[in-house]
Amino acid sequence: MSGGIIAFDPGKAGGLAHLAPGSGPSDIVLRPWTVEHELVEYLHSINPVGYDAVVEDVPAYVSSLTSNASSFKLGYNFGYIMGCLRALKFRVHLVKPQKWQKGLSGLKPKMGYTERKRMLKDNAVRLYPDLKITNATADAVLVLHHFLNHGV
């Protein structure tokens, strides 16, 4: 790998996974989604030349079980992340949830939110046992994993 990769889960309690150029999987940096200025400061610390930014391409409609407030926050975070990445001239790729989740063990259609999040975290921990993965960073790690292994 010549460039770095930074992957994002724009969810309400999402995060990022960052693999710097020349680093290995045990060097992945994980950060939960916190406040806006921290993301901008973090992105400013990275030279975007040669980097791939991979963002979960959130659907316009999530589910009838998802509140309007959560859907709004998901869309807001997605737009904010995309705006930051584009303004800082990162090379941006979008990947749909169905694509990066394909092949992960234990996922079934119509799973509840909590059960699905637990299963995604279990997959991330299994793939990267040396990382301190949380619910906030599990999806970002899996998006990064998908990009490393399949592209977009």
One-letter amino acid of 95: V
Looking at residue 66, what DSSP letter applies?
S
Q: Which tokens hold the place of 152?
A: 């977009």
For the chain, what percentages of helix, strand and coil (3-state, to nearest 5) are there? 45, 15, 40
Query: What is the spatial distance between Cα 125 and Cα 109, in angstroms, rounded to a whole number?
Result: 21
Task: Find all residues with CB under 8 Å of 54, minimum gap 6, and list them.
Answer: 5, 6, 7, 8, 92, 93, 94, 95, 143, 144, 146, 147, 152
pLDDT at 2: 59
pLDDT at 90: 97
pLDDT at 128: 97
Per-residue b or e along 84-116, where b marks 16 or more CB atoms closer than 10 Å to that residue's CB: bbeeeebebbebebeebbeebeeeeeeeeeeee
Query: What is the spatial distance between Cα 31 and Cα 70, in angstroms, rounded to a whole number?
Result: 20
**pLDDT averaged over consecutive 10-residue blocks of the chain (152 residues)?**
86 92 94 90 92 90 62 87 96 95 90 90 97 96 96 82
Domains of the chain plus CATH, in order, are 5-150 (3.30.420.10)
pTM of the predicted protein model:
0.91
**Helix, strand or coil, per DSSP, at residue 54:** strand
